[in-house]
Structure 1
Amino acid sequence: MRANPRRDTKPEIALRSALHRRGLRFRKDLPIRLPERVVRPDVVFTRQRLAVFVDGCFWHCCPIHGNAPKTNTGYWGPKLQRNVDRDHAVNEQLRAAGWTVLRAWEHEQPQEVAKSVEGALRDLPTPAS
């Protein structure tokens, strides 16, 4: 599991490139301090309070591509379920703190995800400087 990077995965880099090509500027892996935990979304638009996560199909149990390991199920089943439960809790906590949360799967096309992010940014109010 050490070989699995926490940040700068290929899907994240592809999304960030697509966002940058659209002229969008953002922070990456920025810690957001919440009452119960610190969250590090993959892409953060601080002024609009938009947090974007790119979830791996295996680690976050994608309904299309996620697969349950056939061996050591006593370990992997609860481990993967904790990841899903944590994702739901993080979403709720961020929303309670006034953030909008977008989640994308690693198998989604970066251009399509960037289009969704751009649409969400258009719909969110930008605070006055």
Structure 2
Amino acid sequence: MADVHDAATRSRNMAAVKGRDTRPELLIRKALHAAGLRYRLHAKQLPGKPDLVFPRHRAVVFVHGCFWHQHDCHLFRWPATRQEFWREKIGRNVVNDERSTQALRDAGWRVATVWECALKGRTRPDFGDAMQRLAAWIQTGEQTITIRGG
């Protein structure tokens, strides 16, 4: 009976994890809107459903959680339990990220990735500077940008 209870609890906990409108995403949206940039949210027709889409600039922004996308920073740690499950789950996320990025680039989109560690944690850069870099990138022709903690 304990296994059923544990599985149900894990399922509820996983369901509580938000995939959109996260705090980091809301911070970025607010900063870019204040910079005069207008965007669409979570475009289902594009590979990977980017968090922000700037059709006028042919640019998309992904806001990645360091844990869920296996970032090589101090915020990522492999869980101590159910290691096989987590390695498969997070590994699939990484593969899907790579596929989505390539498909977007092949379709003529420019791709930005903002990592969670760029917004919180001990190595985060100045938020204003990071958002200025992102806003400038959106308005240029550069193909990609990655914004991460130091």
Using the size of structure 1 for normalisation, the TM-score is 0.86
Partner Cα distance (1:55, 1:9) in 2: 10
The alignment covers a number of residue pairs equal to: 121
Partner Cα distance (1:101, 1:48) in 2: 11
Unaligned runs of 5+ in 1: none
CA contact (8 A) 1:15 1:113 kept: no
Partner Cα distance (2:68, 2:25) in 1: 15
Which is bigger in relative contact order (C-alpha 8 A, separation at least 6)?
1
State the Cα deviation string for residues 36-58 of structure 1 (Å, max 9, x = none).
xx431111101211010000011
1:21 counterpart = 2:38: no
Unaligned runs of 5+ in 2: 1-13, 120-126, 143-150
Which residue type is aligned with residue 79 of structure 1? K
Residue 79 of structure 1 is matched in structure 2 by: 89
Partner Cα distance (1:113, 1:90) in 2: 24
Bigger share in helix: 2
1:114 to partner: Cα distance: 2.3
Residue 134 of structure 2 is matched in structure 1 by: 117
Aligned match for 1:7, one of 13, 20, 36: 20
Identity of aligned residues (%): 37
Larger radius of gyration: 2
Partner Cα distance (2:138, 2:112) in 1: 11
CA spacing shift, 1:119–1:102, aligned 2, 3 Å: same
